[in-house]
């Protein structure tokens, strides 16, 4: 999402049950009505414009509030990149669809054959071994097992031979008794599973939301030059 009043582009992310974006409006934005455009990843191409999606009315603020604006904005928490998708959806729905798994748990990375090919290999420091994609009918899957000695934290999944993060997941902490009982397994191919919903979002209604300073408002004001 882009607008001349935003400091940076806002990114639509799934936060089940809605899709939302956080955008920051410059403190020096003049009162008025402004358009918000929907673009592809990374914002519009140079010299190009996106599709007008919504309009936003920016209210006037008093001098004292404008003076306090920079300090309030500096105290705002950073935008969270992680997304929260419905638990029943295939994983991953996006590179930031972070699910939580336990050491020793078997997981099934799933993707579209538009992005992955049969036999493509996925690797992660938290997997016991590389996972190989297989399947048919436009949906490909692999089976992986989380290492018993994987420490709690965020892990990346990458395609072998490509400098690209394809998925992320979080390893949950377990107690020492559970860790001692855990045994690393060798994953079996995931072929033969029925095809399900595609791993991309189609026709979802999007809601643009942002947390304000102290209260919930449509946009956050921030000092800086408007873009």
Q: In tens digits, what is the pLDDT along the chain, a chain of 227 residues? A: 889 999 888 999 999 999 999 988 999 999 999 999 988 765 566 656 668 889 999 999 999 999 999 998 898 898 899 999 999 999 999 999 999 999 999 999 998 877 778 889 999 999 999 999 998 778 899 999 999 999 999 999 999 988 889 999 999 999 999 999 998 876 665 444 433 333 323 233 333 333 333 323 333 434 444 33
The per-residue pLDDT for 53 is 87
Residues of the chain with CATH 2.60.40.10: 99-181
The per-residue pLDDT for 47 is 57
Tokens for 25, please give them: 């409006």
pTM confidence score: 0.71
Cβ-proximal residues to 137 (8 Å cutoff; 6+ apart), any chain = 195
Residues 185, 130 contacting (CB under 8 angstroms): no
The per-residue pLDDT for 89 is 95
CATH 2.60.40.10 fits 99-181, yes or no: yes
CA dihedral (179, 182, 188, 191) positive or negative: negative
d(CA 222, CA 29): 9
- Residue 59, helix vs strand vs coil: coil
Where are the alpha helices (H) located in the chain, listed in sequence order? 63-74, 176-181
The per-residue pLDDT for 42 is 59
Q: How many helices (H) and strands (E) does the chain have?
A: 2, 18
The per-residue pLDDT for 222 is 41
The per-residue pLDDT for 138 is 82
Tell me how far CA of residue 226 lies from CA of 2, 24, 55, 74, in angstroms.
11, 10, 16, 17
The per-residue pLDDT for 45 is 60
């Amino acid at each position: 999402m882009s607008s001349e009043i935003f400091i940076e582009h806002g990114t639509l992310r799934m936060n089940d049950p809605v899709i939302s974006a956080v955008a920051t409006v410059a403190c020096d934005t003049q009162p008025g009505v402004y358009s918000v455009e929907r673009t592809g990843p990374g914002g519009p191409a140079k010299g190009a414009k996106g599709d007008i999606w919504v309009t936003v009315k920016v209210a006037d603020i008093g001098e004292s509030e404008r003076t306090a604006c920079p300090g309030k904005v500096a105290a705002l928490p950073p935008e969270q990149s992680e997304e929260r998708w419905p638990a029943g959806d295939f994983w991953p729905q996006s590179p930031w669809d972070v699910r939580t798994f336990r050491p020793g748990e078997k997981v099934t990375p799933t993707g579209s054959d538009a992005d992955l090919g049969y036999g493509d290999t996925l690797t992660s420091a938290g997997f016991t071994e590389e996972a190989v994609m297989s399947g048919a009918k436009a949906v490909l899957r692999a089976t992986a097992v989380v290492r018993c000695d994987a420490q709690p934290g965020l892990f990346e999944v990458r395609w072998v031979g490509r400098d690209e993060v394809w998925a992320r997941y979080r390893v949950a902490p377990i107690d020492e008794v559970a860790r001692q009982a855990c045994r690393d397994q060798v994953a079996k191919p995931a072929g033969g599973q029925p095809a399900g919903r595609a791993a991309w979002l189609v026709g979802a209604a999007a809601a643009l939301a942002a947390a304000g300073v102290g209260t919930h408002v449509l946009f956050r004001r921030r000092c800086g030059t408007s873009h």
